[in-house]
C-alpha cells in the first residue's frame, strides 16, 4: 500500500491511541468486575496483605474450621494480582482503580508491541495500522474493560514485544541469551499459558538464525536452548513444582470430534469473535445458543474453513518470516492443545486460549484483501463493522452494569454478585466481628472482608450434582455468616447449611430482596 503524501496510517494510530486512552479513563471512573480466575488471584493477595506468605492462599481447614491450611497457588501466575497491587502501592488508589490502570496500560503496550512486530515482519505501516483497527474491534479487546481477566490482558501486553524480539535479533550474543532467559520469566509472570507461545516463538527464532548445515543448526540451537532450559527450569522449581496446575492431572485419553477440530477452527473462532458470539461454542459460559450436535457440526465446518484461510495466507503472504510464524503458531497450537484435550487436561475449549492465532492472521488477511476486488474489501469492512458494533454494545452494557447495578465496597471493584444494600450490611458485620467466618458462593465478594476469614464455596448447580467433599467444613470457629442469593431458597440452602455440621441454630434474615443471610453462633 502507498505510504506517501499525508501518511494516513499515522492518523489511524492517533485515533486508536485516543480511543484506548478514553476507554482507560472511563474504566478508572467505572472499575471492572472480576472473572473467577483473577478473583482467585486477588484472594491470594488478600491473604498476603494480612501477613501471609508470597503466593499462598490461607483459608479455613475443611477438617476443622477453627484451623487454617496454606496452599501455594500454582494454578495461575502471580502477575494478574501483583501488577495491580504495584499500581496500588505507588499511587495510593484502591484495588479497582489499580486494576483499571493495569488494563489501560496493558492495552496500549500490547497494541504498540504488535504494531512494531507487524512492521518488522514485513508489512507496511498502513497494513499494520489497519491490523490494529481490526484487533481493537475484536470482542477480546473490550472484555477487560468490563471484566478484569488477569493474565489474558497482561499476556496481550507482552506477547507482541516477545514476537518482535524473535524477529529483531539477528546474531548470537549476550543480547540473545538475555532475551531468551528473561522473556520466559516475564511471559510466565503474565500468564502461565505463555509457555507454549514461548516454545513456538523460540522455534521461529531458531529457524531464522540457522543457515545451511547441521552444525549451524546445532550451534544456534545451543545458543537458544541453554537459556530456554534455564528459564523453564527456574519456572518449574521455583513455582510449578510447589502445587498443581491445569496440566497436573490427566483423566486418561479420550478422542472426540472437538479434540483437534477446536484448535484447527480457532483462526475464525478467535479472530472473528465467533466463540464469543456463540456464548461459547463448546464450553458454554452462559445459556447455550445451539445444541451440542449442531455445535459440533459448526465446529468441523469452521475447522475446514480455517485451514483454507491459513493455507491461503501461507501461499499469498509476502514475507517468509510471517509465513514461518503463522505455521509455527497455528500448527504448534494444534499440537499442544490437541494433546492436552486428548489427555483431558483441565483446559477448557475456549477461543481465548488461542487469541494469538486470531491476531497473527490479521495483517495477512488485510494484505491479501488489499490486492483483491473492491467487493471483497467491502465485505471484509462490513464484517469488521459488525464485530465492532457487537463488541461496543457489550462494552456499553458492561459499563452500565458496573456503574449502576454492581455494588461497591472497600476494594473499589464492581461487585456484580451482590447488591449494594446487602454488601453494606456484610461490611458492617465484618467491622463488628473479629473471629467470624463469612461464606460466599462467588469468590469475588470476599475481597471486601477485611477483619475476618472467608470461605468461597462452588455455586450449587441446578441439578444438585456436587462433590460433597468440596462443600463440607467440620468443626466450630465462632460466628458463621452464610450469604446466599434468595433463589437458593429450598434444597440449595439446606445443602449449604448441612455443609457446616458443627453449627446449629441458624437464623435467617433478608439482607435485601435478593440476598439472604444465614447466621449461626451456636456449637452443635
In a domain, 502, yes or no: yes
In a domain, 385, yes or no: no
| Cβ neighbours of residue 68 closer than 8 Å, sequence gap 6 or more | 58, 59, 60, 61, 453
In a domain, 426, yes or no: yes
The gap from C-alpha 429 to its chain's centroid, in whole angstroms, comes to: 33
User: Exposure string (b/e) for 336-356, b if CB count within 10 Å is 16 or more?
Assistant: bbbebbbbebebebbbbbbbb
Say what percent of the chain tops pLDDT 70.
98
User: Exposure string (b/e) for 107-122, b if CB count within 10 Å is 16 or more?
Assistant: bbbbbbbbbbbbbbbb
In a domain, 255, yes or no: yes
Residue 394 has pLDDT above 70, yes or no: yes
| Cβ neighbours of residue 213 closer than 8 Å, sequence gap 6 or more | none
Residue 1 has pLDDT above 70, yes or no: no
Residue 256 has pLDDT above 80, yes or no: yes
Return phi, psi of residue 72, to 5°.
Answer: -75, 120
Say if residues 352 and 227 touch (Cβ distance below 8 Å).
Answer: no
Where is pLDDT greater, at 201 or 2? 201
Residue ending a domain, among 316, 340, 358, is: 358
Residue 83 has pLDDT above 90, yes or no: yes
Residue 248 has pLDDT above 80, yes or no: no
Closest by CA position to 275, among listed 352, 365, 384: 352
Residue 2, pLDDT score: 41
Please tell me what DSSP assigns to residue 196.
H
Q: Is the dihedral of CA 462, 464, 465, 467 positive or negative?
A: positive
pTM, 2 dp? 0.92
Burial status of residue 321 (CB atoms within 10 A of its CB: 0-12, 13-18, 19 or more): middle
Report pLDDT digits (tens) over 363-383: 999 999 988 899 999 999 999
Mean of the per-residue pLDDT values of the chain: 92
The gap from C-alpha 409 to its chain's centroid, in whole angstroms, comes to: 24
Residue 372, pLDDT score: 87
Please tell me what DSSP assigns to residue 53.
P
In a domain, 121, yes or no: no
Residue that has been written with the C-alpha cell 545451543 in this structure: 222
| Cβ neighbours of residue 158 closer than 8 Å, sequence gap 6 or more | 109, 110, 113, 186, 187, 190, 194
Residue 312 has pLDDT above 60, yes or no: yes
Q: Alpha-carbon distance 460 to 252, whole Å?
A: 27
Residue 385 has pLDDT above 90, yes or no: yes
Query: Does residue 146 sit in helix, strand or coil?
Result: coil
100-114, 171-185, 271-285, 506-520: which has the minimum mean pLDDT?
271-285
Whether 350 and 423 share a structural domain: no
Residue 348, pLDDT score: 86
In a domain, 56, yes or no: no
Mean pLDDT across 148-174: 95
Residue 472 has pLDDT above 50, yes or no: yes
Mean pLDDT across 92-101: 94
Query: Hey, what's the cell of 432?
Result: 463488628
Whether 261 and 335 share a structural domain: yes
End-to-end, the C-alpha distance of the chain in Å comes to 77
Number of separate domains in the chain: 2
Residue ending a domain, among 358, 382, 407, is: 358
Report pLDDT digits (tens) over 163-181: 999 999 988 899 999 999 9
Residue ending a domain, among 358, 378, 397, is: 358
- What element of type H or E holds 518? strand 515-520
In a domain, 508, yes or no: yes
Residue 5, pLDDT score: 39
**282 pLDDT tier (thresholds 50, 70, 90):** confident
In a domain, 470, yes or no: yes
Q: Alpha-carbon distance 181 to 175, whole Å?
A: 10
Mean pLDDT across 430-447: 94
Return phi, psi of residue 471, to 5°.
Answer: -115, -30
Residue that has been written with the C-alpha cell 528459564 in this structure: 231
Residue 429 has pLDDT above 80, yes or no: yes
Q: Alpha-carbon distance 70 to 116, whole Å?
A: 43
Residue 463, pLDDT score: 81
**184 pLDDT tier (thresholds 50, 70, 90):** very high
Whether 423 and 347 share a structural domain: no
Where is pLDDT greater, at 245 or 4? 245
Residue 249 has pLDDT above 80, yes or no: no
Residue 286, pLDDT score: 67
Residues in the chain: 524
Q: Which domain holds residue 353?
A: 246-358
Residue 4 has pLDDT above 50, yes or no: no
Query: Hey, what's the cell of 249?
Result: 492431572
Amino acid at each position: 500500500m502507498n505510504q506517501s503524501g499525508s501518511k494516513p496510517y499515522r492518523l489511524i494510530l492517533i485515533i486508536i491511541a485516543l480511543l484506548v486512552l478514553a476507554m482507560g479513563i472511563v474504566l478508572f471512573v467505572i472499575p471492572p468486575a472480576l472473572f473467577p480466575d483473577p478473583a482467585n488471584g486477588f484472594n491470594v493477595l488478600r491473604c498476603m496483605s494480612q501477613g501471609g506468605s508470597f503466593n499462598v492462599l490461607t483459608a479455613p481447614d475443611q477438617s476443622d474450621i477453627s484451623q487454617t491450611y496454606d496452599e501455594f497457588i500454582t494454578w495461575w501466575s502471580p502477575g494478574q494480582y501483583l501488577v495491580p497491587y504495584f499500581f496500588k502501592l505507588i499511587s495510593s488508589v484502591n484495588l479497582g482503580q489499580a486494576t483499571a490502570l493495569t488494563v489501560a496500560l496493558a492495552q496500549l503496550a500490547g497494541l504498540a508491541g504488535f504494531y512494531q512486530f507487524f512492521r518488522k515482519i514485513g508489512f507496511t505501516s498502513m497494513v499494520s495500522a489497519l491490523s490494529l483497527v481490526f484487533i481493537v474491534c475484536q470482542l477480546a479487546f473490550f472484555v477487560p474493560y468490563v471484566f478484569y481477566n488477569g493474565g489474558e490482558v497482561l499476556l496481550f501486553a507482552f506477547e507482541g514485544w516477545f514476537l518482535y524480539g524473535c524477529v529483531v535479533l539477528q546474531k548470537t550474543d549476550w543480547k540473545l541469551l538475555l532475551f531468551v532467559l528473561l522473556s520466559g520469566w516475564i511471559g510466565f509472570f503474565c500468564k502461565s499459558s505463555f509457555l507454549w507461545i514461548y516454545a513456538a516463538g523460540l522455534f521461529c527464532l531458531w529457524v531464522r538464525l540457522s543457515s545451511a548445515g547441521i552444525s549451524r543448526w546445532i550451534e544456534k540451537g545451543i545458543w537458544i536452548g541453554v537459556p530456554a532450559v534455564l528459564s523453564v527450569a527456574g519456572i518449574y522449581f521455583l513455582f510449578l513444582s510447589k502445587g498443581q496446575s491445569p496440566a497436573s492431572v490427566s483423566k486418561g485419553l479420550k478422542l472426540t470430534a472437538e479434540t483437534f477440530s477446536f484448535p484447527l477452527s480457532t483462526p475464525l473462532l478467535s479472530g472473528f469473535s465467533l466463540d464469543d458470539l456463540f456464548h461459547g461454542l463448546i464450553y458454554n459460559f452462559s445459556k447455550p445458543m445451539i445444541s451440542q450436535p449442531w455445535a459440533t457440526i459448526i465446529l468441523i465446518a469452521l475447522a475446514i474453513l480455517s485451514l483454507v484461510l491459513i493455507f491461503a495466507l501461507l501461499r499469498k503472504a509476502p514475507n517468509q518470516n510471517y509465513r514461518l510464524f503463522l505455521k509455527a503458531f497455528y500448527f504448534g497450537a494444534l499440537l499442544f492443545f490437541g494433546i492436552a484435550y486428548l489427555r483431558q487436561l483441565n483446559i477448557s475449549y475456549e477461543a481465548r486460549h488461542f487469541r494469538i492465532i486470531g491476531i497473527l492472521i490479521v495483517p495477512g488477511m488485510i494484505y491479501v484483501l488489499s490486492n483483491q476486488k473492491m467487493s471483497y474489501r467491502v465485505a471484509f469492512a462490513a464484517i469488521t463493522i459488525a464485530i465492532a458494533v457487537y463488541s461496543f454494545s457489550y462494552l456499553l452494557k458492561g459499563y452500565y452494569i458496573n456503574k449502576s447495578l454492581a455494588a461497591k465496597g472497600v476494594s473499589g471493584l464492581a461487585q456484580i454478585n451482590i447488591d449494594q444494600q446487602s454488601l453494606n450490611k456484610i461490611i458492617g458485620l465484618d467491622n463488628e466481628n473479629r473471629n467470624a467466618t463469612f461464606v460466599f458462593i462467588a469468590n469475588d465478594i470476599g475481597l471486601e472482608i477485611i477483619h475476618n476469614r472467608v470461605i468461597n464455596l462452588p455455586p450449587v448447580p441446578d441439578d444438585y450434582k456436587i462433590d460433597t467433599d468440596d462443600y463440607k467444613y467440620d468443626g466450630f470457629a465462632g460466628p458463621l455468616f452464610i450469604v446466599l442469593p434468595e433463589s437458593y431458597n429450598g434444597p440449595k440452602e439446606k445443602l449449604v447449611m448441612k455443609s457446616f455440621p458443627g453449627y446449629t441454630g441458624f437464623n435467617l434474615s433478608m439482607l435485601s430482596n435478593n440476598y439472604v443471610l444465614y447466621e449461626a453462633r451456636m456449637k452443635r
